[in-house]
Amino acid sequence: MHGWTEKTGFTLIELVVVITLTGIVALLAGRNITAPIQGFIDLSRRAALVDEADLALSRMSREVQLALPNSVRITDGVSTPPPLAACVAAGGTSCSVEILRTLDGSRYREQTDSVGAGDTLDFTANSDTFDVVGNLPNLARITAGAGSLNDCLTGTTDCLVVYNLGFSGADAYNGDNIAGIVATAPMEFVRPAPLPFSSPNQRFHIVDMPVTFNCNSATGNLLRIEDYSIAAGQVLAPGGTSSLLAGNVNSCVFRYDQGSGSRNAVLTVELVVSRFNSSSGNNESIRMVEQIRVQNVP
């Protein structure tokens, strides 16, 4: 006599129910997990844009704060005469900000001491030596040489500038109040004619090079340009060495307020950086604004 063996298993209906429930649970879990992951990806992408713009603005800010007083100028390469008070680079146009970067500065001796000792700066001579009153922290970095004005303007030697007002007759770009440095101990300079104006506070500055920041909305690049000659006319992209400060630039706005005798000048830089978002199919943009205070008392 044979016994009965009980067999267990899933019916087709049970299997279909389990598969259906598993699919529902997987769908709900996927939705709950996908949203936070997508949010993290979006946040990381925006953070990368912010970092790119912030790094560029920080670099600009550090250098513009070293500008020779009244040497900030803006051009769009079209409007004449430059410089402009404001410029917008958007839709394929360009704008540039140029400065003369100071390496150091101090005060010159204006009068001799009680016994007639001391080397004063002579504003009636085109070549002279004078005592520096105070310290030049970057003295070892100052490049001296034959010291002609042309050597200074082309970057062979560093330049001495006294009382730069930024207009004709007292504009370092025009060669009005700038001289080539011959020696630094004591300070010695040479130029074709005497320096035109003395400084009410006996200040002088040492300029090592011009620097241009060029924003080109057609290429989407914000460039820093150096290693070119000081010139009276400003151009969008002077010859020299270029380095990329930021890519993916959609637009730039440069505004310059010259300030007054009691208020520093301000350069406002507005930067819009964009990048294509493949998940949404749209460009994603961030906008950052930096206000850079610039010394304007020569």
Percentage of the chain exceeding pLDDT 70: 88
User: pLDDT grade, residue 274 (50/70/90)?
Assistant: confident
pLDDT digits (tens, 9 = 90+) for 27-69: 776 666 666 666 656 666 777 788 889 999 999 999 999 999 9
Tokens of 229: 């000659």
Q: What is the pLDDT of residue 38?
A: 62
CB environment 243-256: b (16+ within 10 A), e (fewer): eebbebbbbbbbbb
> In the structure, what pLDDT confidence band is assigned to residue 128 with cuts at 50, 70 and 90?
very high
Return all residues near 279 (Cβ < 8 A) that are at least 6 apart: 38, 41, 42
Quick one: which H or E segment has residue 59? helix 12-64
Q: Averaging pLDDT over each range in 78-87, 181-190, 260-269, which range is the top one? A: 181-190
Task: Express each pLDDT in 148-180 by its tens digit.
Answer: 899 999 999 999 999 999 999 999 999 999 999
Q: Cβ-count burial of 13 within 10 angstroms (0-12 exposed, 13-18 middle, 19+ buried)? A: exposed
- The structure tokens listed for 69 are 């007083």
Q: Please state, in angstroms and as integers, the Cα–Cα distance from residue 258 to each residue in 93, 103, 148, 273, following that order.
A: 24, 22, 31, 27
Average pLDDT, the chain: 88
Mean pLDDT of 120-124: 96
**4 pLDDT higher than 90:** no
d(CA 196, CA 169): 7
Q: What is the pTM of this model?
A: 0.84
Distance separating alpha carbons of residues 148 and 145, to the nearest angstrom:
8
Q: What does the pLDDT read at residue 18?
A: 74
- Predicted pLDDT of residue 107: 96
Q: Tell me how many degrees the CA angle 65-154-243 measures, rounded to the nearest 5.
A: 55
